[in-house]
Amino acid sequence: MTRRRSVHPDPVASRKVLRLGFLPENDCAPLVLAQELGLFKAQGLSVELHNEGSWKAIHDKIIHRLLDAAHAPATLPFLIQLGLTPEKCDCVTGLVLNLQGGAITVSRELWRLGVRDALTLREQIWKDRKRKTYAFGVPCPLSSQYSLLCQWLRSPGAPPSTDVRIEPVPPEQMFPLLKLGYLDGFCAGEPWTSVAVQAGVGACIATTAQLAPLHPEKVLMVRKDFAEQRADEHERLIAALLEACRLCDEPATRAKLCELLAQPRFVNAPVDCLKPDLIGPFGGPDSSFRAPQGLNIFYRYRANEPTPAKAAWLTGSLFKFLRWQVRPDALNGIFRPDIFKKAQKHLREPPHDPEPLPNPRPHGVAAAVA
């Protein structure tokens, strides 16, 4: 007599509600707007949003199937694939959620000492080299914000490098740790720079848009097996978020977006601290620059398709910090333009043509947005 093997249902395949994680930064806006405007429901989806607080929580819950998809740093799928995170897993993305959107902030004490840019910061670090080690926060190790902060710290003409400790810090903890003196600065997404500036705790002295205009910042990350086994839901999820990205870039939506994100269940920051990035102008009274329309780009300039060029920019910046070689084909198939194109077929209206690329294209990431 043949024994039947018991089959346990897959916890992901049997779930009807999609669990979607996010980090409390302004660039979670497409997820919030898609939920609040019923765009997920219009695609036949039931979605729960979960504020996960840190990249580590996103990582763990995607790996262990406690989340189906997540708003994640754009390098995270590559880091997981390479085994540079605590656990390894095949992850993919079919959607880039935003471009740029980050800023570099220093403490008011450093501003008082005359720090205005990377050169004057390095001069101050050199003066204090025997007295203290400066600490800067980034939301995710080896993220684009990490690599751009390192690039900025190594600006030409600065004094010899001394030790700067760069720590992974959950986004919403940047401001209190800067205020308490545990951090001397940070590079993070908005609104945390604006929170520090408006509270008189920090000063913004650079943006990631200045260092690498239009670089990919956050993506929709899923496990590869989720993308394969639940392809229709995945594509509909991308379609809803793509429509939300378009709405996020419309000026008429931005004021409402500030009110939504300010809620405790989302970003949990004052509306006035959300406006500089989402409505503009960005840059406090001490800043030497102004960004009239804010920092984040959600749809314009071909933001959303996960092209090989965007992947190449991310891996190029990532490999600068790796001391070992990776086969060129090892990271193929993480950015999936094929999934993006299938998802576009689920849009309720034909895709709107995004705003064309600036001419000339921005220095440093010319190919990344192609």
Tally the C-alpha atoms within 13 A of residue 243's C-alpha that lie toward its C-beta: 24
- On whether both 116 and 265 belong to a single domain, the answer is no
Quick one: tokens of 179?
């205020």
| Non-local CB neighbours of 40 within 8 Å, separated by 6+ positions | 18, 34, 46, 47, 237, 240
Q: How confident is the model at residue 23 (pLDDT cuts 50, 70, 90)?
A: very high
127 lies in a domain?
A: yes
Q: Give the alpha-carbon dihedral of 327, 333, 337, 342, to 10 degrees.
A: 170
pLDDT digits (tens, 9 = 90+) for 61-101: 999 999 999 999 999 999 998 888 888 899 999 999 999 99
- On whether both 94 and 152 belong to a single domain, the answer is no
163 lies in a domain?
A: yes
140 lies in a domain?
A: yes
Sheet harboring 185-189: ordered strands across?
A: 164-168, 134-138, 185-189, 102-107, 202-207
Q: Tell me what percent of the residues of the chain surpass a pLDDT of 90.
A: 69
What residues does 98 pair with on adjacent strands?
Answer: 218
pLDDT digits (tens, 9 = 90+) for 120-171: 998 898 899 889 999 999 999 889 999 999 889 887 665 565 678 999 999 9
Helix 251-261 × helix 271-278 angle, to 10°: 150
Quick one: tokens of 5?
């093997």
- On whether both 96 and 106 belong to a single domain, the answer is no
Measure the CA–CA gap between 300 and 355, rounded to whole angstroms: 5
- On whether both 235 and 327 belong to a single domain, the answer is yes
- On whether both 95 and 223 belong to a single domain, the answer is yes
367 lies in a domain?
A: no
- On whether both 248 and 204 belong to a single domain, the answer is no
Is the CB of residue 219 less than 8 Å from the CB of residue 159? no
- C-alpha distances (whole Å) from 92 to each of 34, 96, 275 are 21, 11, 32
Q: Is the pLDDT of residue 278 over 60?
A: yes
Task: Provide the phi-psi class of 288: left if phi over 0, else alpha when psi is between -120 and 50, else beta.
Answer: alpha
Task: Provide the phi-psi class of 32: left if phi over 0, else alpha when psi is between -120 and 50, else beta.
Answer: alpha
Measure the CA–CA gap between 244 and 35, rounded to whole angstroms: 9
Residue 114's pLDDT is what?
95
- On whether both 204 and 219 belong to a single domain, the answer is no
- C-alpha distances (whole Å) from 268 to each of 91, 191, 256, 259 are 29, 10, 15, 10
Residue 291's pLDDT is what?
64
CATH number at residue 126: 3.40.190.10
Assign 86 to helix, strand or coil. Answer: coil
- The whole domain housing 321 covers 18-100+215-344
69 lies in a domain?
A: yes
- On whether both 122 and 263 belong to a single domain, the answer is no
* Amino acid at site 46: S
Residue 363's pLDDT is what?
40
355 lies in a domain?
A: no
- On whether both 260 and 298 belong to a single domain, the answer is yes
Domain final residue, candidates 180, 211, 242: 211
Domain final residue, candidates 158, 181, 211: 211
Domain final residue, candidates 166, 195, 211: 211
203 lies in a domain?
A: yes
- On whether both 110 and 82 belong to a single domain, the answer is no
- On whether both 171 and 118 belong to a single domain, the answer is yes
How many domains does the chain divide into? 2
Residue 370's pLDDT is what?
53
Residue ranges of alpha helices (H) inside the chain are 29-36, 39-42, 55-63, 76-82, 108-112, 118-127, 144-153, 174-180, 192-198, 208-211, 224-229, 231-248, 251-261, 271-278, 308-319, 337-344
Q: What is the mean pLDDT of residues 23-32?
A: 97
pTM of structure: 0.90
- On whether both 187 and 197 belong to a single domain, the answer is yes
Q: Is the dihedral of CA 71, 298, 231, 46 positive or negative?
A: positive
pLDDT digits (tens, 9 = 90+) for 333-350: 999 999 999 999 999 777
Preceding amide of 191 cis, omega within 30: yes
Q: Is the pLDDT of residue 8 over 60?
A: no
314 lies in a domain?
A: yes
pLDDT digits (tens, 9 = 90+) for 287-308: 655 666 789 999 999 999 999 9
Distance of CA 54 to the CA centre of its chain: 11
Assign 235 to helix, strand or coil. Answer: helix
